[in-house]
Amino acid sequence: MAAFNYRHLYYFWVVAKEGGFARAAERLDMAIQTISAQVRELEKSFGHQLLKPQGRGVTLTEAGEVAYARAEEIFQIGQRIPQEVMQAATVPAIRLSVGLSDGISKLAAHKLLGPALQESQLKLVCHEGEIEQLTAELALHHLDLVLAGQPAAHNSNLRLSSRLISSSDVGWFGPSPWVHKAEVEQFPQSLSRLPVLLPTAHSPLRASLDRWFDELQIQPRVVGEFEDSALMSVFGAGGLGVFPASLIGRDDLSLMKGLKLLGQSEVKEDIYALYTRRSSHHPLVQSVLQAAQA
C-alpha cells in the first residue's frame, strides 16, 4: 500500500470528530471543498471509503471506524508533544536507572536510594528481576546501579564491582489481630503457631531464615511465599499473617496502618550495590554509595 499523507488523515479525523464537513471547515478555517478533496485523497490511498452520508452530516464506515481509532491515538499523542518538548528543554532531568533484585526488601531499597531521591530534577527508572538478568543489563550500561541480596558473580568479561551497603537486622511484623502481648513475649517460638509469610527460596534472606528456624527448632506455619517483599508486606498488612522485614525500612512500614513489631531476630539482610566503572561516576550513584559508607 502506498504511503498516505498524515495531513489528509488529520482532516479526516477532524471531520469525523465534528460529524460533518461544514463544521470541520469552520473549525479549520478552510473551504469545505478543500477538506472534502483531501479526505477523498486519503480514501483513495487506503482503497476504501471511510465516510458516508448521514442526514446533514457524515458517519464512519466500518473501515472508517478503524482509521478513526488509530487517528485518535496519533493526534492525542501529537497534542502532548509540544508540552513534553518544552518541559524537556526547560527542566533537564537527571536520569537514574536502578535494577532491584526481586529477592531484596523493597522498603530497604527505598531507604538506601534516599540520597538520590533528594534530587529535584530526578527521573528514576526502576526495573525488577533476577540478578543474572539485571547484571547483564548493568554490564551493557542499560542500568546505572543494581541493588541485590548478593554480590555480582565473578566474571572478568562483565567487569562489575560490588559493595556491601547495608547489613540490617530483620524484624517480624504483623497486623494487630496476630500480634498480642503473649505472642510478643513468646517470640520467636510464637512463629510456630502464627500464620507466617516468607520470601521464596530464591531469596538469599530465605536461606538465612531457614537456618535460623533450624537452630531454634521452630517449624513456622507458612501460609504464603512471595517473590516480591513489598507484595508480602501488603498481604501481611491485609491480615494474611506475620512477615519478616529489614529494620532499615521500618519507617516505610508505618505507611501501612495497623502493623506492629512482633520481635527482632538475629538474622540480617545484606544488600549489595552493583555497578560498573562507568556508572560509578554517575553523581547519584556516588551519593548512594557515599551515604551508605557514612
pLDDT tens-place string over residues 178-217: 999 999 999 999 999 999 999 998 888 999 999 999 999 9
Q: Is the pLDDT of residue 66 over 90?
A: yes
Q: Say if pTM beats, i.e. exceeds, 0.75.
A: no
Question: For the chain, first and last CA: distance in Å?
Answer: 63
Residue 10 gets which letter from DSSP?
H
What does the pLDDT read at residue 158?
72
pLDDT band at residue 294 using 50, 70 and 90 as cut-offs: confident
Neighbours of 182 (CB within 10 A): 9
Peptide bond into 283 cis (omega under 30): no
Q: 190: which 3 cell numbers?
A: 510464637
The answer, yes or no, to whether residue 156 has pLDDT greater than 80, is: no
**For the residues 162-178, what does the mean pLDDT come to?**
91
Which uninterrupted H or E stretch holds 46?
helix 32-46
**Residues 72-91, mean pLDDT to the nearest whole number:** 83
Cell numbers at 67, concatenated = 482509521
Task: Give 117-150 pLDDT, tens digit per residue.
Answer: 998 888 899 999 888 899 999 999 999 999 998 8
Residue 230 CB contacts under 8 Å (≥ 6 apart), including other chains: 106, 107
The per-residue pLDDT for 2 is 55
| CB neighbour list of residue 184: distance below 8 Å, 6 or more residues apart | 190, 261, 262, 263
For residue 116, pLDDT over 90 is answered with: yes
> Where do the DSSP E strands lie in 145-294?
145-148, 160-175, 195-199, 221-226, 243-246, 259-276
Mean pLDDT of 221-248: 90
Percent share of the chain, pLDDT over 90:
66
Grid cell, residue 286, equals 556516588
What is the structure's pLDDT at 67?
Answer: 94
Residues 11 and 24: their CA atoms lie apart, in Å, by 8
State residue 220's pLDDT score: 94
The mean per-residue pLDDT over the stretch 83-111 comes to 83
pLDDT attached to residue 176:
87
Residue 255 has pLDDT above 70, yes or no: no
C-alpha pair distances (Å), 132 with each of 53, 82, 167, 173, 200:
60, 40, 22, 30, 17
Enumerate residues 6+ apart whose C-beta is below 8 A from 6: 74
Burial class of 8 by CB neighbour count within 10 A (0 to 12, 13 to 18, 19+): buried
Long-range contacts of 9-14 (CB under 8 A, 24+ apart): 9/42, 9/67, 9/71, 9/74, 10/71, 10/75, 11/35, 11/38, 11/39, 11/42, 12/38, 12/39, 12/42, 12/50, 12/51, 12/64, 12/67, 12/68, 12/71, 13/68, 13/71, 13/72, 13/75
